[in-house]
Amino acid sequence: MNKDSYLNELKNKLKANHVEEKDDILAEYEEHFRMKMADGYSEEEIAARLINPMEIALSYAQMNEQKAGRRSALIITGIGLFFADIIVVMVFILLYAWVAVLGGLALGSVGISGILIGNYDISPVISVFPYIGRLTLGISLIALAVLSAVGTVYCSLYITQLGKSYLRWHKKTLSANGLAYPPLSKHPHIKDKIRRRLRSAALLSVVVFAVAFLGSMLLLFALAGFRPFWHHWNWFIH
């Protein structure tokens, strides 16, 4: 059974059993097929691992029949989820704030590296020092910007996937039926080619940052006559 056959059968079974949420269910399963196919699975393999469409339709039909008798339980569950949602929303605000910090670090590193490599005068903040030191320090900041950008992408993808997982759990809790939705991966879907490039960029930026930053510190220390270079060039002194 391929994707279209599975989804068509699921649609027909849901319709035959008068399941009101059929559009949402079909969208969930279509997304599941899309993600698994992107991971290299064939349509037939994906369909074979999924629950029979009739079982899914019957589970929803039974759930709808039981709703009338479960209204009080659903109300209690809904109240509990409401308070859980408040906490979860605050957690996600903090997580996305961390993503914003990483993004800000990437942008800030690019800006400062441009000032250093471009040899702009920033004497109100840091006194002028030899260009070779500015160059090596600027290179280290470019590497830090790349590393921060990769971290921003990864954190954003994982937090978003975590949000999807929570919403899926939310739906399953309200439906009280584990058959309602297809399984959802805990990890975000990233194409292999993009994943390899991000990993390579991260590893290269770590090496470049470590070498360039350490080299710039040693170089500035030597140029300052082996004394604290921030004192030698009166950094941070107005």
- Quote the pLDDT of residue 95: 96
* 215/230 Cα distance (integer angstroms): 16
Report pTM.
0.71
Burial environment of residue 15 by CB neighbours within 10 A (0 to 12, 13 to 18, 19 or more)? exposed
H or E stretch including 57?
helix 53-67
pLDDT in tens, the chain (238 residues): 888 888 888 888 888 887 777 888 888 888 888 878 877 788 888 888 888 888 888 877 776 665 555 666 667 778 888 899 999 999 999 999 999 999 999 999 999 999 999 988 777 777 778 899 999 999 999 999 999 999 999 999 999 999 988 888 887 777 654 455 666 777 788 888 888 999 999 999 999 999 999 999 999 999 988 888 888 887 766 5
Where b means 16+ CB within 10 Å and e means fewer, 87-101 reads: eeeeeeeebeeebee
- Quote the pLDDT of residue 178: 47
* 142/127 Cα distance (integer angstroms): 21
Where b means 16+ CB within 10 Å and e means fewer, 225-238 reads: eeeebeebbeeeee
